[in-house]
């Protein structure tokens, strides 16, 4: 990347859906580190940027790319990412990194062999108060952890049938954001002991779930719901052995200590942080891979009691 270090990183973007338009493209356009050079999508494009239907067509077009960012659903991610790795391009992946652990590990190993930067991004880890919570946990003995992650699938994923198909993660698509924060802030690993998965009849992925387990001596529980209407809830509540409490609310965009809301510093947003980090990885030739949130979701599917619920339609 010696040549690329003197100019913006020429980026290809694969998958032009809601998350790409809402988050990735604004962050890329605002970044001094990147130039959006080409896109690949079966059904959409970006004005003023060369667009192709497949990643193979995009790579063959010769846009002198340095890196590729993937914003597609997790199913089939391995087949999409493999051509970019084979071409020697740095890779960034939207969460969750893949539909299966074996697929995620195969991509990671392929990137290691190819010697290219590989980044499994977790956007919620870039939320404003995650580092504050990590410091709080490091200084005390956490005794209780409870997650409430409830949102409206119709609001955030309108018409996205894939998310309730097998491999689409269902409620764990947002729920894995909470797990990505927990695995970043807790000094000890979360170990699941039980789970329930509520799957609508005719669907392949859960629309609600509960988890139970431990993190060291701390009791862990989580409530995930994709049918929350009205006010949305993205909260993580922590209590230490002395009874002191910390709550990450609004997806860790805000925080309370002892119930009192804490002042917030200015913040550029989660996706600008991700792309700034990816630029550093690309220029330094390093990777950043963490599959622990995906491992917890896999454990939930292995352990979970599957309960059939009423059919769901968008």
Residue pair 57/40 in contact by the 8 Å Cβ criterion: yes
Report the pLDDT value the prediction gives residue 121, as an integer from 0 to 100: 98
| Nearest CA-CA partner of 80 in 62, 103, 64 | 103
Q: Is residue 290 part of a domain?
A: no
The domain of 56 spans: 4-120
Residues acting as catalytic residues: 95
Same domain, 157 and 54: no
Are 14 and 55 a contacting pair, CB within 8 Å?
Answer: yes
The answer on 214 and 226 residing in a single domain is yes
Instruction: Based on the fold, state whether residues 73 and 41 are members of the same structural domain.
Output: yes
Dihedral of the alpha carbons of 248, 250, 256, 260, in degrees to the nearest 10? -160
pLDDT digits (tens, 9 = 90+) for 238-271: 999 999 999 999 999 999 999 999 998 788 799 9
Confidence bin at 314 (pLDDT 50/70/90): very high
Whole-angstrom distance, CA of residue 60 vs CA of residue 12: 12
290: confidence class by pLDDT, cuts 50, 70, 90 = very high
For residue 291, being part of any structural domain is answered with: no
Q: What is the mean pLDDT of residues 179-189?
A: 97
Pair 97, 56 in one domain: yes
- Can you tell me the mean pLDDT for 45-56? 96
What mean pLDDT do residues 16-23 have?
94
Task: Assess whether 303 and 177 both reside in one domain.
Answer: yes
CATH number of the domain where residue 10 is located: 3.40.50.720
Tokens standing for residue 13? 């973007």
Question: In terms of domains, do 26 and 134 share one?
Answer: no
What is the value of pTM for the model shown?
Answer: 0.94
Do 98 and 128 lie in one domain? The reply is: no
CATH number at residue 253: 3.30.360.10
Mean pLDDT to the nearest integer, 276-288: 98
DSSP 107-152: HHHHHHHHT--EEE--GGGGSTTHHHHHHHHHTS-EEEEEEEEE-B
Identify whether residues 140 and 110 lie together within a single domain.
Answer: no
In terms of domains, do 101 and 165 share one? no
**Model pLDDT, residue 5:** 60
CA gap 265, 293 in Å, rounded: 27
Q: Is residue 230 part of a domain?
A: yes
Does pLDDT of 27 surpass 50?
yes
Domain boundary among 68, 87, 120: 120
Is the preceding peptide bond at 169 cis, omega within 30 degrees of 0? no
Is the pLDDT at 3 greater than 60? The verdict is no
Task: Show which of 120, 149, 166 is a domain's final residue.
Answer: 120
Average confidence (pLDDT) over 21-27: 96
Contacts of 60 (CB under 8 A, 6+ apart): none
Question: Total domain count for the chain?
Answer: 2
Whether residues 103 and 178 share a domain: the answer is no
User: Which of 81, 101, 120 is the endpoint of a domain?
Assistant: 120
Domain assignment present for 11: yes
Which pLDDT belongs to residue 266? 80
Bridge partners, residue 239, by sequence: 144, 245
Q: Are residues 116 and 199 in the same domain?
A: no
Separation CA 170–CA 209 (nearest Å): 10
The mean predicted confidence, pLDDT, of the chain is 96
DSSP the chain: -TTGGGSPEEEEEE--SHHIIIIIHHHHHH-SSEEEEEEE-SS---TTS-EESSHHHHHHT-----EEEE-S-STTHHHHHHHHHHTT-EEEEPSS--SSHHHHHHHHHHHHHHT--EEE--GGGGSTTHHHHHHHHHTS-EEEEEEEEE-BHHHHSTT-GGGGSTTS-TTHHHHHHHHHHHHHH-SS-EEEEEEEEEEETT-SS-SEEEEEEEETTEEEEEEEESB--SS-EEEEEEEETTS-EEEEETTTTEEEETTEEPP------HHHHHHHHHHHHHHHT--B---HHHHHHHHHHHHPEEEEE-----
Please check whether residue 77 lies inside any domain of the structure: yes
Does any domain span residue 48?
yes
Assess whether 216 and 190 both reside in one domain. Answer: yes
**Quick one: pLDDT at residue 4?**
46
272 domain residue, yes or no = no
pLDDT beyond 80 at 223: yes
């Amino acid at each position: 990347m010696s040549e690329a270090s003197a100019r913006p990183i020429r980026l290809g973007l694969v998958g032009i859906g809601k998350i790409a338009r809402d988050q990735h493209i604004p962050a890329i356009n605002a970044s001094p580190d990147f130039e959006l050079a080409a896109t690949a999508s079966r059904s959409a494009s970006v004005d003023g940027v060369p667009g192709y239907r497949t990643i193979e067509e995009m790579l063959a077009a010769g846009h002198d790319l340095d890196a590729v960012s993937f914003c597609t659903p997790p199913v089939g991610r391995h087949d999409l990412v493999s051509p970019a790795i084979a071409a020697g391009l740095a890779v960034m992946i939207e969460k969750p990194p893949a539909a299966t652990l074996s697929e995620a590990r195969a991509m990671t190993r392929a990137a290691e062999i190819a010697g290219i930067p590989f980044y499994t991004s977790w956007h919620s880890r870039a939320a404003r108060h995650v580092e504050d919570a990590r410091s709080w946990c490091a200084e005390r003995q956490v005794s209780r952890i409870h997650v409430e992650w409830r949102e409206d699938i119709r609001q955030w994923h309108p018409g996205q049938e894939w998310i309730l198909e097998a491999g689409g993660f269902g409620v764990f698509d947002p729920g894995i954001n909470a797990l990505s924060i927990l695995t970043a802030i807790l000094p000890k690993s979360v170990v699941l002991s039980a789970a329930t998965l509520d799957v609508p009849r005719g669907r392949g992925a859960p629309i609600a779930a509960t988890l139970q387990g431990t993190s060291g001596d701390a009791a862990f529980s989580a409530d995930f719901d994709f049918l929350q209407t009205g006010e949305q809830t993205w909260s993580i509540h922590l209590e230490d052995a002395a009874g002191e409490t910390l709550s990450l609310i609004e997806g860790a965009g805000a925080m309370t200590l002892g119930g009192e809301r804490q002042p917030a510093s200015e913040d550029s947003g989660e996706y600008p942080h991700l792309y700034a980090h990816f630029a550093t990885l690309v220029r330094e030739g390093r990777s950043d891979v963490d599959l622990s949130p995906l491992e917890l979701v896999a454990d939930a599917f292995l352990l979970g009691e599957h309960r059939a619920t009423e059919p769901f339609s968008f």
